[in-house]
Structure 1
């Protein structure tokens, strides 16, 4: 369709300074510094909009506690720690994120989450969790992470490696809209520029297909439209997958 590349060009013209900075190699380091400030604000609004969905999703975390009764949880792409309020009291939390500039926002969330036990923050990509031992986690959490990783397949391999048998991956991710919908039409138009503004975020990933093929023993997955008014990232998947 000729209309899609034409409209993509229009959006790119409107955001020309960003594309020029990228061409000069200046945008990525700048984005890495600015993005945590933006996301700390966006996460607050996002939590308000999806409070009940998150509350319902994480209400079953305790069911995956280990034999000792402790719940060992690894959150990948933790960002500013927006999920901490939903974790059960006494949960042992390890955090990872590839962007070290999130750390000061994360530390603020940690000080406000006295109901949790924090085991550290690791600067690491979700594709390479080498600091986390095999079969050591009861739960892995990722929310709004798989949209921007380089390889979903590798992330899920790492998740399966660090999860104990019977442990679970909890996820809440924005995904591609139905390909026959107007939503998908607009996602294609915004996507080339959205990647720059969202630090690699992709609007058109069919993430559920990767979860279905990853080799989990059980997959509870639901497609929802997030209550985000008009937003190309409205289509979401929510649920958990058991190793």
Structure 2
């Protein structure tokens, strides 16, 4: 019975969003989303998100220098850099390599770089997390992804790339929204909204058990917490946060 109700409500949401589906069918929505809507939305959303998550992010990234090389230098590769919302939390003088599959973030990214002059910036690589071939094996001390694994096409491939580019003893930092407990109302509404949400927000998936893939990846140590984030959209309140050591 519950599955029937979910299906019915999902169809109702899709009917309400019918213009969006028509634009997608005509090939209009995706280019508009990537070039204009999603960069604009993400800039506004991450500003609010950072305010709500200020202490959490400070706590998450506080020990990044523990993974610096013997000379004290730290190279950070960020997957899905977006608008550069994490730069303020990275330690001074570390070198940051930015990657994102969407080149239309670069204007907003440049503004974030100008505000965060305590960092050294490497090249911007337009690529997906599944293909970091431009980054050599075992060449970075830290990899970071926040609110990224929800939208990648192949999470296992992304995590393989993370392990490949990390030096031995390097760390992967993550902060991701995930599926809710399957007995909860949040999970019920995640299922209802999921198809339309994915279309509206550039492939974002509401029901991924991201922690399971991280736990199965090739890490020697994982520190992971499940938390609830005080966001107005309850469907993205369940999160995982932590880091994994290669």
* Structure-2-length-normalised TM-score: 0.97
Runs of 4+ in 1 over 2 A off after TM superposition: none
Partner residue, 2:6:
4
Specify the SS of the correspondent of 2:230: coil
Report whether the alignment pairs 1:222 with 2:233: no
Report whether the alignment pairs 1:55 with 2:62: no
Partner residue, 2:208:
205
Partner residue, 1:99:
102
What is the rounded CA distance, in whole Å, between the counterparts of 1:32 and 1:94 in structure 2? 21
Quote how far apart the aligned CAs of 1:230 are. 4.2
Quote how far apart the aligned CAs of 1:231 are. 2.2
What is the rounded CA distance, in whole Å, between the counterparts of 2:122 and 2:25 in structure 1? 40
Partner residue, 2:82:
79
Specify the SS of the correspondent of 1:2: helix
Aligned match of 2:181 in 145, 166, 178?
Answer: 178
Partner residue, 1:25:
27
Specify the SS of the correspondent of 1:81: coil
Quote how far apart the aligned CAs of 1:189 are. 0.4
- 1:15-48 CA-to-partner distances (Å, cap 9, x unmatched) read 1111111111221111111210110111100101
**Count of paired positions:** 243
Partner residue, 1:140:
143
Specify the SS of the correspondent of 2:180: coil
- 1:73-116 CA-to-partner distances (Å, cap 9, x unmatched) read 00010000000000011111000000000000000000111100
What is the rounded CA distance, in whole Å, between the counterparts of 1:17 and 1:61 in structure 2? 45
Partner residue, 1:40:
43
